[in-house]
Amino acid sequence: MKSLISETHSITPRRPAFDFSKSSLHWIKDDPIASNILNVIHPITPAPERWFCQTFREALPYIQDEKLKQAA
């Protein structure tokens, strides 16, 4: 199989530091309800992300193209 990827990039993990001390309580301007709805949704997003990562880990052995495997 021929790779469709012509460029190579590697992802380097990093741990950025953020200062939220000057952030407002409601981060969507003039809409505290939307801010709170999204705040409630945030805790449930790791579960689908874990599933997505697990799916890729399980698929990796079936990828024969080395460039595509590195990209995945």
Span 48-57, mean pLDDT?
89
What's at 71, amino acid-wise? Answer: A
Average pLDDT, the chain: 86
Span 30-48, mean pLDDT?
90
33, HSE (Cβ side, Cα atoms, 13 Å) = 0
The H-or-E segment that residue 39 falls in is helix 32-41
Which pLDDT value is given to residue 42? 86
E-state strands within 6-45: none
- In the chain, where the domains are located: 32-71
Read off the pLDDT band of 34 (50, 70, 90). Answer: very high
Integer-rounded Cα radius of gyration of the chain:
19
Q: What is the pLDDT of residues 5-15, one digit of tens each?
A: 677 778 889 99
